[in-house]
A and B are shown apart, each in its own frame.
Chain A
Amino acid sequence: MDAVPPPVAPLAPHMDPTAATGSAALVRARDLRLTVPSAAGPVNILRGINLDIAAGEAVGVVGPSGSGKSSLLMVLAGLERPTGGSVRLAGHELTALGEDALARLRRATVGIVFQSFHLIPTMTALENVAVPLELAGAADALARAEATLREVGLGHRLGHLPAQLSGGEQQRVAIARAFVAEPRLLLADEPTGNLDRATGAVVMDVLFALRERAGTTLMLITHDPELAARCGRQIHMQDGLIEPLAHAAP
């Protein structure tokens, strides 16, 4: 059993656009690099990212397609291993953790919402939402999952399979699943990308409401400037690097 190692002392915040705006950093990336091989030669996707996200902060990440936004999210979630630099999440150095330790850390700390929902097609809405709690061994997984689904307005869809739900409903299930274990960090990758504007707005209202209530730290990747503007801080990515951008009030 490779358990999650104890957190190390937080680093001092840097005085630049990548620095956290509030209290101690929940996420801290330093010189983060990701290079993947390809037939045409190595591709540098992340080229030295420095980023702090404070606990309770909401960060909107914008940038053109291919700028490395989703890859940054994958690395911060421990789903992709960086090829250089360091990344700390809740005091844990992700590059030092094994696959199972990363899984346990995600289970305890991170919720993720994808553009393509990624619900398990053979499970009902209730079962999909209960999975993170079940994996954590929670005895009341189904009850909590049901409560969360009711919270996102899907109390009448508990027994439905993903294919029987609309896109907006599926994304609300995904949001319920991301929030059900009350994670400290929510990573959202273009959560409205597959939805129409009105549905997207409803979904984001749900997401922000849950985040407000739980005080969850949020990193939201989006192409929508309005959506990014709902976050306290915005960062702009270009060619695998974070570029300076205006600060908004938290």
Chain B
Amino acid sequence: MRLAFRLARRELRGGVRGLRIVLACLALGVAVIAAVGSLRSGVALGLKEDGRRILGGDLDVQGGAQKLPDSLAPWIAARGGHSSAVIEMRSMLVAPPLASGGSERQLIELKAVDGNWPLVGAASFEPAMTVEDALKPVNGRYGIAVEPIVRDRLELKIGDAVRVGSANFTLRAVIASEPDRVSGPSILGARALISADALPATELIQPGAMLSHSLRAVLPPGDNPAELGTAIRSAYPGEGWRIRDAGSAAPGTERFIEQTSLFLTLVGLTALLVGGVGVANGVGAWLDARSETIATLRCLGATSGLVFRVYLIQVLALSAAGVALGVAVGGLIPFAAAGVLGAALPVPPRPGPFAGPLLLAATYGLLTALAFALWPLGRAARISGAALLRDSAAPNAAGQRRGVAVAALGAGGLLIGLTVATAPDGMLAVYFCAAALVTLAIFHAGAWVLRAIARRVPRPRAAWARLGLASLHRPDGGAAALMLVSVGIGLSTLAAVAMIEGNLRAELLSEIPAEAPSFYFIDIQNDQLPQFLALLGRTPGVEEVKHVPNLRARVVAVNGVPAEQAKASADTQWALRGDRGLTYAATVPEGSRIVEGPWWPADYTGPPLLSFDAELAKGWGLHIGDTLAVNVLGREVTLKVANLREAAWRSLGINFTLVVSPGYFENAPHTHIATVRARPEAEGAILRAVTDALPNVTGIRVSDILTSVAALLDRIGTALAATGSVTLAAGALVLAGVVAAGQRRRVREAVILKTLGGTSGQIRGAWLVEFGVLGLAAGVIAAIVGSAASFGVMRFLMHAPFDLLPKTLAATIAACVGSLLLLGWLGTAAALRAKAAPYLRNE
């Protein structure tokens, strides 16, 4: 082994030029994975460290629409705790009347806080003042603080009088920071903060109104919040409250971060996979250039094992350098990104460094290097000394050493195992690995088919076209496969990402049904409904009004198993938490389809039956005849599942998870939810008319939501494209490596062709045919692979319909052809500039 090291060291003195691409490929992939892992750890640590602040205390008890009992705060105080009550809901903030009459209004997320808020951290305002000063009554009018976006949209000034519900407020301040809020896009309204004492005057708290009561508590040092949570559940059994401690302050955010980082890690792995192809190619080309040295070593008595070790040491040394570079860059990215991404992430990421993700990224890098480099190394070790006597030092045709083949496959297997083992969603990682292997196989098969076609196609008349086509099926046409893979995988990823984004956009925005409503109006009290309908009846521009009863229900138990212990699939767990909409109906709701079980008779009056969402039922394992216990207005009701229903969520109509048979909830206090379809020019007037006449009613404009969703999709699209570009960058590196490896041969060929009378036009034409056909093939395969991948994601992960997007596909193919033609052109220019004499002189 010492001899191997000594020989390797001597060889490395000659430089590592041929292996630079290998180094770059590994560094890029490892950097992405290390950066994603570090950012994920940074955000997770941020969430953990800020858990108390984000939660608003050591413990948070959420009662949903149901008010928490007055005895809870004293109960906590008796155990040394200190609590603060918070109520959140949606409402409208109405600006001062305009000179022209009427006034602008804006959907807000209203938060009413008591005097103890915030228990942890501090709120800050512009201009600077205390919470008390911002919200307290002055001259009989309470203060309100809003997010900057509300002030800007409604063109408010500090001191303006604004209305929320039935109460007037003075705009005292703009919220600069709110400690117990995880930052994120607000689709359904921006924050407005008022005192809880001011809430009654707004008259927003009505029976059945959609709001959320919560109580936060800080405990004496040393007390265990989880134990207190358990004690609360025991003291207040059957309440179905959601009780969280700081360890799970933002479970939704944690899930989001986990899923995003999984996606980004898979992108990094794709980049590493493409890089692996570059490693195989780079190492192969580098060893080709050393074939004479290897043959000489063999002539001088080196065993094939020694040769293998000598070159393995060099490749590993270079790979380690590439991996180290990747780890260093990836580890530093969170430091740089903290400033840029701070606003986009839910909490500022802690910059680290984090040993775990860096070590994992390094392991991925080294395993990739091994999996892809062992094969060419094994072949090189089989070069015999007799090769010196031949023209080309080709490896022994006997094939690969079994041990090397096993080791290469083992490294690949470990790589797959590591990917699956470290992914939060193992099955997704399995699918990814399978898809990656299939994609590699497809591109290799594509190259084989291309060569076969090029061999059989009738010979074109023009010499340049004939030479170009012939280049595709020459004995060294392996380069064609490499070019296909290197360009194709990157563009496949981009195509898939573009198709997913395009489909999401089409799904959410473009295909808004013609009968989609213009507004949702929520919190219409039972006794307000006639007035609401009459008002709309005389307002011009209203085309259609639909309304249904609306109650808020919290799932307490599934088949007798408490909701917090109930088993549910990953994509349906969300519905076990928080309030769900519940309505009652005698007939099948419009837009719904019964998929299992009978609908109840219209005159049914027996025990309450449930028509449940079929997708959720599948996720929860609920069948016809099973029971679901829900808490409605503080009372627990057990519902028997009578049928399962598919709701047409895409119609944007009113759909409910829980539809109950009539005769049970009619007399319970509840609200109505209504959809209004109106002419666009009448929308402003309708919103003003309804929310002026019924101040507690909140109007949500569909077009505003869609605008917010579009903006969010733009951000997601940009982020997806940026990450997808990483694989393209890796592909470009590999492609550059492939072309560079073959460039000397190509220049030599061009020189010989020139010597034989080939003009620059003919040589250029031949190259452009070769690269153009390769680009076209890569583009077509990338379009197919990208379509298949996006189909899989849309259909099986997002459960959404999928459409082929011809423009995206055409752009993918055009990008492939364009990039390869450009490369061909650049390569030709370099070859045509080369002087003939140095290549032709006697060697």
Answer whether residue B840 sits at the interface, using C-beta atoms and an 8 A cutoff: yes
Binds A, one of B323-331, B470-478, B522-530, B615-623: B470-478
Interface pair B757/A118, CB less than 8 Å apart: no
Interface pair B762/A135, CB less than 8 Å apart: yes
- Measured CB to CB, the closest approach of chain B to A217, in angstroms, equals 17
Interface pair A120/B837, CB less than 8 Å apart: no
Chain B residues with CB under 8 Å of A123's CB are 470, 474
Interface pair A103/B759, CB less than 8 Å apart: yes
Contact flags A123-142 to B (C-beta < 8 A → 1, else 0): 10001000110111101000
Answer whether residue B754 sits at the interface, using C-beta atoms and an 8 A cutoff: yes
Selected from A106, A115, A139, A161, the residue in CB contact (under 8 A) with B755 is: A106
Binds A, one of B45-53, B154-162, B389-397, B715-723: B389-397
Q: Which residue of B lies closest to A114 (CB)?
A: B840
Using A74-B837, A80-B837 as known contacts, say yes or no to A135 and B757 having CB atoms under 8 A apart.
yes
Residues 743 to 765 of chain B near chain A (Cβ within 8 Å):
745, 749, 752-762
Interface pair B756/A131, CB less than 8 Å apart: yes
Most buried by A among B463, B753, B756: B756
Contact flags A213-238 to B (C-beta < 8 A → 1, else 0): 00000000000000000000000000
Chain A residues with CB under 8 Å of B749's CB are 120, 122
Selected from B390, B471, B758, the residue in CB contact (under 8 A) with A103 is: B758
Using A100-B761, A122-B476, A163-B392 as known contacts, say yes or no to A190 and B755 having CB atoms under 8 A apart.
no
Answer whether residue A70 sits at the interface, using C-beta atoms and an 8 A cutoff: yes
Interface pair B390/A134, CB less than 8 Å apart: no
Interface pair B476/A108, CB less than 8 Å apart: no
Answer whether residue A107 sits at the interface, using C-beta atoms and an 8 A cutoff: yes
Interface pair B757/A193, CB less than 8 Å apart: no
- Measured CB to CB, the closest approach of chain A to B64, in angstroms, equals 74
Selected from B463, B474, B762, B842, the residue in CB contact (under 8 A) with A190 is: B842
Answer whether residue B455 sits at the interface, using C-beta atoms and an 8 A cutoff: no
Interface pair A162/B757, CB less than 8 Å apart: no
Interface pair A189/B842, CB less than 8 Å apart: yes
- Measured CB to CB, the closest approach of chain A to B433, in angstroms, equals 35
Selected from B752, B757, B832, B835, the residue in CB contact (under 8 A) with A120 is: B752
Answer whether residue A77 sits at the interface, using C-beta atoms and an 8 A cutoff: yes
Interface pair A99/B760, CB less than 8 Å apart: yes
Interface pair A122/B475, CB less than 8 Å apart: yes
A77, B835: Cα distance in complex, Å: 13
Residues 159 to 182 of chain A near chain B (Cβ within 8 Å):
161-163, 170, 177, 181
A134, B758: Cα distance in complex, Å: 9
A80, B760: Cα distance in complex, Å: 16
Answer whether residue B444 sits at the interface, using C-beta atoms and an 8 A cutoff: no
- Measured CB to CB, the closest approach of chain B to A122, in angstroms, equals 4
Answer whether residue A112 sits at the interface, using C-beta atoms and an 8 A cutoff: yes
Using A162-B391, A177-B756 as known contacts, say yes or no to A79 and B840 having CB atoms under 8 A apart.
yes
Chain A residues with CB under 8 Å of B463's CB are 134-137
Answer whether residue B836 sits at the interface, using C-beta atoms and an 8 A cutoff: yes
Most buried by A among B391, B466, B832, B835: B391
- Measured CB to CB, the closest approach of chain B to A98, in angstroms, equals 9
Interface pair A107/B757, CB less than 8 Å apart: yes
Answer whether residue B681 sits at the interface, using C-beta atoms and an 8 A cutoff: no
Q: Which residue of A lies closest to B466 (CB)?
A: A134
Q: Which residue of A lies closest to B462 (CB)?
A: A137
Chain B residues with CB under 8 Å of A7's CB are none
Chain A residues with CB under 8 Å of B394's CB are 163
Chain A residues with CB under 8 Å of B466's CB are 134
Residues 444 to 484 of chain B near chain A (Cβ within 8 Å):
461, 463, 466-467, 470-471, 474-476
Answer whether residue A116 sits at the interface, using C-beta atoms and an 8 A cutoff: yes
Residues 72 to 126 of chain A near chain B (Cβ within 8 Å):
74, 77, 79-80, 99-100, 103-104, 106-108, 112, 114-116, 118-123
Interface pair A103/B754, CB less than 8 Å apart: yes
Using A163-B390, A163-B394 as known contacts, say yes or no to A135 and B837 having CB atoms under 8 A apart.
no
A120, B750: Cα distance in complex, Å: 10
Answer whether residue B843 sits at the interface, using C-beta atoms and an 8 A cutoff: yes
Interface pair A193/B842, CB less than 8 Å apart: yes
Chain A residues with CB under 8 Å of B753's CB are 120, 131, 135
Chain B residues with CB under 8 Å of A79's CB are 754-755, 836-837, 840
A193, B841: Cα distance in complex, Å: 12
- Measured CB to CB, the closest approach of chain A to B829, in angstroms, equals 13
- Measured CB to CB, the closest approach of chain A to B78, in angstroms, equals 88
Q: Which residue of B lies closest to A80 (CB)?
A: B837
Interface pair B474/A122, CB less than 8 Å apart: yes
Residues 793 to 843 of chain B near chain A (Cβ within 8 Å):
832, 835-837, 839-843
Chain B residues with CB under 8 Å of A99's CB are 754, 759-760, 832
Chain B residues with CB under 8 Å of A80's CB are 835-837
Q: Which residue of B lies closest to A36 (CB)?
A: B837
Interface pair A121/B755, CB less than 8 Å apart: no
A121, B752: Cα distance in complex, Å: 11
- Measured CB to CB, the closest approach of chain B to A24, in angstroms, equals 24
- Measured CB to CB, the closest approach of chain B to A218, in angstroms, equals 17
- Measured CB to CB, the closest approach of chain A to B326, in angstroms, equals 36
A70, B471: Cα distance in complex, Å: 31
Contact flags A6-49 to B (C-beta < 8 A → 1, else 0): 00000000000000000000000000000000000000000000
Contact flags B372-406 to A (C-beta < 8 A → 1, else 0): 00000000000000000011101000000000000
A189, B755: Cα distance in complex, Å: 14
Interface pair A74/B836, CB less than 8 Å apart: yes
Chain A residues with CB under 8 Å of B757's CB are 103-104, 106-108, 132, 135-136, 181
Interface pair A70/B759, CB less than 8 Å apart: no
A79, B840: Cα distance in complex, Å: 9
Using A163-B390, A163-B391 as known contacts, say yes or no to A70 and B841 having CB atoms under 8 A apart.
yes
Using A79-B837, A163-B394 as known contacts, say yes or no to A118 and B752 having CB atoms under 8 A apart.
yes
A136, B462: Cα distance in complex, Å: 10
Chain A residues with CB under 8 Å of B835's CB are 80
Top 3 closest A-B pairs, CB basis?
A: A107-B757, A122-B474, A115-B842
Q: Identify 27 residue pairs between A and B in the complex whose beta-carbon atoms are under 8 Å apart, listed by A's number.
A: A71-B837, A79-B754, A79-B836, A80-B835, A99-B759, A99-B760, A103-B760, A104-B757, A104-B759, A106-B757, A107-B756, A107-B757, A114-B840, A118-B840, A120-B753, A122-B474, A122-B475, A123-B470, A123-B474, A131-B753, A131-B756, A135-B753, A135-B757, A135-B759, A162-B391, A163-B390, A177-B756
Given contacts A79-B836, A127-B470, 4 further A-B contacts (CB under 8 A): A100-B760, A120-B749, A135-B759, A189-B842
Q: Which residues of B contact A (CB under 8 A)?
A: 390-392, 394, 461, 463, 466-467, 470-471, 474-476, 745, 749, 752-762, 832, 835-837, 839-843
